[in-house]
Structure formats: structure tokens, C-alpha cells
Amino acid sequence: MAEVWSEQRLLIDGELVDAASGATYDNVNPATEEVLGVTADAAQADMDRAIAAARRAFDETAWSTDVAFRLRCLRQLDEALGAHAEELRGTVVAEVGAPVALTSGPQLDAPLQGVGWVADLVERYEWQQDIGEATNFGITSRRVIQREAAGVVGAITPWNFPIQINLAKVVPAMAAGCTVILKPAPDTPWTGTLLGRIVAEETDIPAGVFNVITSAANDVGQQLCEDPRVDLISFTGSTSTGKKIMRAGADNLKKVFLELGGKSAAVVLDDADLGSALFMTAFAITTHAGQGCAITSRLLIPRSRWDEAVEQLLGIMGSISYGDPTDPANMMGPLIRESQRERVLGYIQKGVEEGATLAMGGGIPTHLEKGFYVEPTVLLDVDEDATVAQEEIFGPVLAVIGFDDDDDAVRIANNSIYGLSGGVFAGSDERAVAVANRIRTGTMTINGGLYYGADAPFGGYKQSGIGREMGVLGFEEYTEVKTLAFPV
């Protein structure tokens, strides 16, 4: 096994350190089931030190107010990340199980490019806005709206797209003048700790501004959410965990950004190009083994075209190559761990028990002896209220639902607690947009268009979250607004 670029240490107050207890835990390659190495297993004492460092750096240094210095540091970080791109690529493939083909997009290259976009935004951003004069009680005043850093940020990130999500939180937060404690997912620690090493060794970002805490336990994450010294929690993960984070921060009325679950629908209207629509949907559900919150995991097809659509879908799904993530031909690799595979298999069984037809896949592939793989799976005739149509599976499982007309399709698409993403395919963009505008989600693809980019806000309606990540709106999540008044 080739050596993978790694970092087992925490970053606390500018120093790369082991956990105070000396504890570590294994980092496992999900494609081979081999132990890649170890990572520091932090405890509450380590988190306490990190929070104290971030609080001090925010309160006692010029980081939050010196925009020019922050910009110089961001440019350094951008350059350093680019210099380590190939090393990071190997780490992402090994610890995430992400196919190497995906690292040319949102698993690595695209988020690295986004760092420069954030730096450019800081350079041109108008931190003050003059809103003119007003007269009250006989006093005429000029009023100015001013943006300031929100404070100390706790960033809690998942394992599915760790480079993307780590950078989407950490970089805008620091750019806004915040100090940050990053807690990466236990399954993908090195993509977080390596960011800590790069910041510590290759930038002038001051001690305490950025800290990285890895832990196999959940209690340090709970600590981060509850500590009154932390002003804002930025979390990406499940809706159930997001609700716990809101409760944990309630006593301090902590500001929260939550990017949560999804059960997005791909709606194929009766005049759509079936081949294109079905290919994109099959591609989406198998990309990174379906481990994406915005992936369209419900496929809605018109009953008037049901037979031909199903025939084409099964042919496309059957042609998708999957397996070894180091093979550029594969777009689908393993699930992240054995417990996640068992969870996905349990959902498939539940779907069949509730009346769906298992048309393809549904089990562990026999040709792959190692790794946490599940076959690409198609469930047909799924009831819109069935468990597999309502709950987020996070695996390569496509639930196919029939509909009668456009109104029926919109109703089914909106029959969800989630509202993160979705897509509409139609014979014209105008018809697709008319349907898309009736579906309550934060992002939509129109006839296969892709919205992803550092400048595009991402987030959801309903129980898919609060706030937006990326874009100017994502940057401004890490700011507070102050209104100043001056006598004229």
C-alpha cells in the first residue's frame, strides 16, 4: 500500500500537538478495510484549550479588524493548498473512499479553487454601506451599516466531502474575521488535520485563529456546541444531529448555520429527453455511492412513459462501473464504514417489505472481496410515503415513483420534510422552471444544469437546514451587522 500523506496531531493555539491523554484511534481505508494510520483522539481538556485559544485570538488580537492582514494570509493558504493538491488527492481517495475521478471536481479541485474566490471577495467586499440620512426628534443623522466578524466559530463537518465542506466553512469564517475550531468527522480526520498543519507551517495565520480537534467520541462536539465562549456553530450533517445542536446552543442563544439532510426528487416530465434525464439521475445516485445530501434519490417518472423509462434506467444503471476508487474509470466506490453499509442494506430490505419491487442490486457485490460496497440498487413502484421515499439513506439506492401529471409530480416532490435540492427535466427550460418554482428546495437543476460553485449559495428549505453556505450569503453567515449613526 502506497504511503498516504497524513497528520495525526491536533492544532491548538498554533501548535501541532498530540491529545493530552496520548490517546489515538485508527483511520481505516473503506475500500480495503486496512488501517491507514492513527489520529489523535481528543478529549474535553483538548477542546477546552482550543476554545480558549480561539476566544483569546478573537478578543485580544487584530485578526477580526485587520482586513489587509487577513487577505494576505488567505492568499498564502490558497497557494499552500495548491502546492499540496496531489498529496491531498491521495489522502481523499484513501480515507474517504472517494473515486479519484471525483477529486477533479467537488472532492478536491473545485473547493481548492474556491479559496481564491473567497480571497477575491474579501478584497472587493464593502464592509460599510451608507444608507443615508434620517431625522428623529429633530436630530438629523447619517446612518451606516457595518459588517463585523461574528466571533468564535465551531465548525463541525461530515465525512462524505470533507475537503469541500471543511474549506466551505473555515475559509469564509476566517475571511470574515472569525476564529475557528474545526471538528472533522471521526471517519475522515486527516483532511482536517492536514489543513491544520498547512495553516500552522505555511501561513502567517496567528496562533489560536484556527484550531483542529479530532475525536472518536461525540462529547467534544457537544462541548463545542454548549460552550458560551463559542458564538456560532456551523454544522453539516444529519437533520437529527442538527436538532440536537440547536438544543445544545439554546441556553446561550448561539447563532447556528445548519446544512442538513435531503431526499431530493428528480422529476422527469412527459416531454423530457428520457435518455439524458435517466443518465444524469443514475449518475447522481451512484456518484460516491450515493453519499451526498443533495443527491436526487427519488426519481419521479410519468406513468404514461413508465415502461420505456424503466427499461432505459435499468440499462444505464447496469452499465455503471464501480469498485476500486483509485481506478479513474469508477465513479462509485465504497460506503464509509461497515455500519453504514448495514444501514443501507437495512433500508433496501425495508423498502421491499413495504411493497417496492427490487429491480436491480440490493446486496453486497460478490466480485469485490474487500471494502464496504453495496450494489447500485433500483427500487420500483415505491409508495411516496414509504420509508425509502421519506428517509435519507445515504447509499446507492434509487426510489422510483410514478406520477400522473405535473400537479401530481409537484405534490409528490414536496411530500417530504426535506427541501435541499432537486431537478426537473422537460422538453423546454421554460416548462421545467415552471415546475421547479413550485418545489420548495434550496437548489434545483434544470435539464441537467449544475449549480455548484464557490459563488453559488447552497442550503435548504424546511428540515434541510438554516442559512446558506458558499457565495456572498455564505460569507455573510459569519458576520454580524452593526448600524452606526452620526449627527449631521
Catalytic (active-site) positions: 259, 293
Contact partners, residue 173, CB within 8 Å, separation at least 6: 150, 153, 155, 180, 234, 478
411 CB-near residues (< 8 Å, 6+ apart): none
Residue 297 makes CB contacts below 8 A (sequence gap 6+) with: 262, 263, 264, 285, 290, 392, 393, 397, 398, 399
Taking the C-alpha atoms of residue 227 and residue 222, their distance in angstroms, rounded to an integer, is: 9
- Rounded CA separation 362/341 (Å): 11
Rounded Cα–Cα distance for residues 218 and 195 (Å): 21
Alpha carbons 21 and 38: distance in angstroms, whole number: 14
Task: Give the C-alpha separation, 65 to 209, whole Å.
Answer: 13
E-strand stretches of 226-365: 232-236, 255-259, 264-268, 296-302, 357-360
Residue 141, C-alpha cell as written in the block: 443623522
**All three cell numbers of 404:** 400522473
CA geometry: angle at 428 spanning 426 and 434, to 5°? 75
Cβ–Cβ under 8 Å, residues 149 and 64: yes
CA atoms 111, 114, 118, 119: torsion sign? positive
Would you tell me how many other CB atoms lie within 10 Å of the CB of residue 450?
A: 12
Q: What is the DSSP string of 117-185?
A: HHHHHHHH--SEEEEEEEEETTEEEEEEEEEEE--EEEEE--SSSHHHHHHHHHHHHHHTT-EEEEE--
The C-alpha cell at 463 is 428540515
CA-based torsion, 374, 380, 385, 390: positive or negative: positive
Residue count of the chain, please give it.
488
The span from the first CA to the last CA of the chain, in angstroms, equals: 71
* Contact status, residue 424 vs residue 436, Cβ threshold 8 Å: yes
**CA 319/CA 474 separation, integer angstroms:** 38
The amino acid that residue 332 corresponds to is: M
Per the CB < 8 A criterion, the answer to whether 306 and 130 are in contact is no
Q: Is 327 helix (H, G, I), strand (E, B) or coil?
A: coil
